[in-house]
A and B are shown apart, each in its own frame.
Chain A
Amino acid sequence: EIVLTQSPATLSLSPGERATLSCGASQSISNFLAWYQQEPGQAPTLVIYDASNRATGIPARFSGSGSGTDFTLTISSLEPEDFAVYYCQQRSTWPYTFGQGTKLEIK
């Protein structure tokens, strides 16, 4: 099973700041990595797929990068609605797995 490790566990920033979230895979997953956002009490929503492709309706301030084992989700200038938990997920090999999540909180 491929293990995804996200860092940091919690990221405290202010609106307008830049957020950088990391996801590391235990083995190469090419670019088969997605990022999801989950607000409290809500279902997740897709943000990025295949490492760098924004999902429909996702603002341009969200960007993804990486390949192989190291991936990054960047939010260029935080808006109040961006504060949530973010999960990475790989679809390279079954069983598909998620990272443990990064909580992005308001400082």
Chain B
Amino acid sequence: EVQLFESGGGLVQPGGSLRLSCAASGFTFGSFALNWVRQAPGKGLEWVSTISGSGGSTYYADSVKGRFTISRDNSKNTLFLQMNSLRAEDSAVYYCAKSGVTLFGVITFWGQGTTVTVSS
């Protein structure tokens, strides 16, 4: 059974940093691209970042480029999102999400999310 468990969310002041983690199980971790997708309160979904199975390729939405860094540790089946220079508009539920093995860019499984609140 596929499981994705996010952690690391919380309340942070504008300009601050947070590091989100996503612990995965139930699949061959290094074979799948992984993603972060966020949803602001009462709003729609926004694709934040993607990393290939090997970690060699990464992609970022313009809204977070230069501030967020996606990475993964395939030896520990864990995905990360380092978030720096946080802004109020980064407040959202952050979902860790797994792509299909041959479906890069399709999310076949979602974690339950971790909430980030950026406020003074």
Chain A positions within 8 Å of B, measured between CB atoms, are: 1, 32, 34, 36, 38, 43-46, 49-50, 55, 87, 89, 91, 94-101
Using a CB-CB cutoff of 8 Å, which residues 56-113 of chain B contact chain A? Answer: 59-62, 95, 100, 103-113
List residues of chain B with CB under 8 Å of any chain A CB: 44-47, 50, 59-62, 95, 100, 103-113
Contact call B105/A43, Cβ cutoff below 8 A: no
A93–B82 alpha-carbon span in the complex (Å): 24
CB <8 Å contact, A98 and B110: no
Chain A residues closer than 8 Å to B112, beta-carbon distance: 43
Expressed in whole angstroms, the minimum distance between the Cβ of A52 and any Cβ of chain B is 13
Q: Please name 6 further chain A to chain B contacts, defined as beta carbons within 8 Å, in addition to the given A95-B47, A95-B61, A95-B62, sorted by A numbering.
A: A32-B105, A34-B106, A89-B45, A95-B60, A96-B50, A98-B44
Cross-chain contact A101 with B106 (CB below 8 angstroms)? no
**For residue A44, which residues in chain B have a CB less than 8 angstroms away from its CB?**
45, 95, 107, 110
Asked if B106 and A45 make an inter-chain contact with CB atoms under 8 angstroms apart, the answer reads: no
